A and B are shown apart, each in its own frame.
Chain A
Amino acid sequence: MTKTLTIDGKTIPFQDGQTIIEAATAAGVYIPHLCHHPEFTPHGSCKLCSVKVNGRVCSACTFPAAEGQDVINNSQELNDDRQKITQMLFVEGNHFCPSCEKTGNCQLQAVAYHLNMLDDHFPLFFHNRNVDASHSDVLIDHNRCIFCTLCVRASIEQDGKNVFAIAGRGINKHLAVNSATGLLKDSDLDKNDKAAHICPTGAILIKRTGYQVPIGQRLYDHQEIDAVSLAHETEQRHGE
């Protein structure tokens, strides 16, 4: 017999071992997320996928689906709080969208649009962060890093390398590169690595590819991230 849980009152099936977000995605229900990616080990750090499971706040990307769970996802309260968490990411880093090559194709920006975020709400940190343009093909702009660790995981789990790590504590966290100089050029990153393409923001970019898609034709210009995300994952499943 198929096991089921409900999300916002809708009954959806799941298989043992699935997380809530996996069950939701398979059933065509979008739960906002940034650090989650279906191809990699769940991380649970961005907290955008916070849902209420039987009244308790859980991260949908790490919490196992279980029979009869009553999950609240798309409520005004949760979306308002997700907006605040997104605003925290914006004020922590230096996200100047007009000057970022990722604009229009950026998940951080798109999730902000989806949550109808119009301002930063909190005071900005303006922390001084660097850019590492040393690599011939790939650029790191630390100003835009949100510590989702997708590049870390992609490098280990898919590329079979270990190019990235998160170092430091608390608000002083930063992306670190595994090379003697700490520079990307001295790492074994290749521009075709998954890790070079996985960044949900403009922190890791392939050089000489910016602004090639005209405004109006970019990923999120007309389509919201929920539709893009679900379509992408359906495509992935069919491709398997």
Chain B
Amino acid sequence: MSLAVTELRRRPGRFAVATVVLTFLSLLLLLLGGLLDGLFLGSTGAIRAQRADVIVYSDTARDSFLRSRLTTEVRRQVEQVDGVEAVGGLGFSLLGATVPGETDLADVAVAGYELPPSGVPDPPSAGHAWADERLREAGVSIGDTLAVGPAGTPITIDGWVEDTNYLQQGALWVTLDTWREVQNANRPDAFVAPDVVQVFVVRGAGGDGLAAAIDAATGSTSTLTRDDAVFALPGVSEQQSTFNAIIFSTLAVVLAVVALFFSLLTLERTGLYGVLKAIGASTRRLFAGVVIQAVTVAVIAFVIGGVLAFVGDALLPGDIPLQLTPGRYVFTFVALVVAAVLGSAISLRRVTRIDPASAIGSAA
């Protein structure tokens, strides 16, 4: 172990190329992951924040909030299902809003609700809203009255909430009546009758069993668990699978870089390893040295890449949905270390095959 560490310390230049390449790859992994997280969190906050076990859609909506419509009659049926503890209506309208003093429209998701999501207070008074902090970037302040949609429906901001955005639009949490008013004034093509909502959020016991029981009781609904509802949002699954494919492809490149670099290094050290084996070094010890070097290079690359990603995040414009979470850093670190171990493992066969007898009779 000491041999491997000493070589890293005394000959850093030998590992510079691998460190630089892995630094760029770790930066790429963090940026890709940060974008994925930013897109995911920005799209799904309003649903993740729901303190609900299941979400009920109309069965013709194909799990879409915007297509779903549920009546009070369905609500009564849901409330009578065993295990249901609370039912609340929920509806969204995606619109542009004029912010006082700003020339650009702010993208908002007007969310009508009854049961307060996590971090959101009870519904405000009519015509008022709790705004997601993301809207600060659009110039929104507490006390502002936004003119929402083409009809300019006024909504006054009472306070801030966090991580509750919907499909990359800043959420404005309002009463169901205010939501219907906004929807009907600005989207007459998608009129919502009084007492109609898009979905019900349901608190209760049972998860999948509860969902099935609700659908059986109503005969006209499609019920998903909250997590399933998150991934049913438009584009979320596609974003996840696309970004994850790129991230795991990048990890495959990391593995290939480590494998190639340390294979070449091992090839170059064949003579030295032969001598060390001849004087009593075990294959295990020599291979452990290779792994330690690969992991150390990966960790150094991760640290530099992490700092660069952090700085890049601070410098990038706010409209790029990059969000570097501690979990993303941990995932990238673990993935790099695992790739380094697996990549260096390719050298095991080469180290094993080095014959200690090659040290004798060789002038090389």
A and B co-occur in one complex = no
Chain A interface residues (CB < 8 Å from chain B)? none
Chain B interface residues (CB < 8 Å from chain A)? none
